[in-house]
Amino acid sequence: MTIIIKGFIEMSMLDWEGKIVSTLYLPNCNLRCPYCHNSGLVINPEQYDTIPFETVRDYLMRQQGWIDGVCISGGEPCLYEDLPDFIRGLRNAGALIKLDTNGSFPDMLQRLFDERLIDYIAMDIKAPLNTYALLTGIRDEAIEERIKQSIRIIMNSGIDYEFRTTVVPTLHTKEILVAMAGLIRGAKKYALQAFVPNNPIDPEYRKITPYSDVQMQDMQQAVLSYVQRCVLRGV
């Protein structure tokens, strides 16, 4: 597949801690997480206008010295074989690169690291390994091993990174989060994100009430012993 851009936020102070970035949204994903809030990009990306790469590049060139970099999100960017060339084009416009990924394409991650194309990476941790395929809505016996590979690659990469989980009531209890934190034991940073029941892939998830701030703080305390730093988002 050839990369197309279906969303462009010119300036964000939320997508990369301590930096001002532009955020790009690429369509399509290999997973079908029922609570995904970017369901349009996953299920029906044709509904969004395509943004020419030149529009993004020219904006970044004009904003050099003000915009620090670009956050590439989705969808799942690592679906695209031409992702390295796409990133090179952004770097040529003077941008640092943050990549958001679900971690199911470790070979692409290794290639990006080997070619020194990214400066920060955020990988989602969806579930304990034994329920990964079930929760993400796919039939893939290799998903567990690929997730473990990606975790190892990221933690050994030498670049800055975070792991993150959108904490969904009915799917993530404190005990389950502790098991998930065990997958990334010793990680620099783990972000627990409050679930927002807006536009999920499965409409039933609109009925779910997010955890309270106090409950999220309790979960944060439960995983702190596994990681160097745990932060809450949306709380």
In a domain, 115, yes or no: yes
pLDDT tens for the chain, 235 residues long, are 689 999 999 999 999 999 999 999 999 999 999 999 898 999 999 999 999 999 999 999 999 999 999 999 999 999 999 999 999 999 999 999 999 999 999 999 999 999 999 999 999 999 999 999 989 998 888 999 999 999 999 999 999 999 999 999 999 999 999 999 999 999 999 999 999 999 899 999 999 999 999 999 999 999 999 999 999 999 9
Residue 2 belongs to some domain of the structure: no
The count of domains in the chain is: 1
Establish if 149 belongs to a structural domain: yes
When computed from its CA atoms, the radius of gyration of the chain, rounded to whole angstroms, is 17
Q: What is the pTM of this model?
A: 0.96
Contact 71, 22 (CB under 8 A): yes
Parent domain of 222: 7-233
b/e map of 3-12 (b: 16 or more CB within 10 Å)?
bebbbbeeee
Task: Give the pLDDT score at 29.
Answer: 96
Whether 1 is covered by a domain: the verdict is: no
CA-wise closest residue to 41 among 9, 77, 89, 82 = 77
Q: Which CATH number fits the domain that encloses residue 199?
A: 3.20.20.70
Place of tokens 């050839």: 2
> Which string of DSSP letters, residue by residue, matches 133-180?
HHHHT---TTHHHHHHHHHHHHHTSSSEEEEEEEE-TTT--HHHHHHH
**pLDDT the model gives residue 1:** 66
Tell me, yes or no, whether 193 lies in a domain.
Answer: yes
Pairing of strands 7-12, 21-25: antiparallel
Residue with tokens 């040529």, as numbered in its chain = 92
The predicted pLDDT at position 79 comes to 97
- CA count, 13 A, side-chain hemisphere, 74: 26
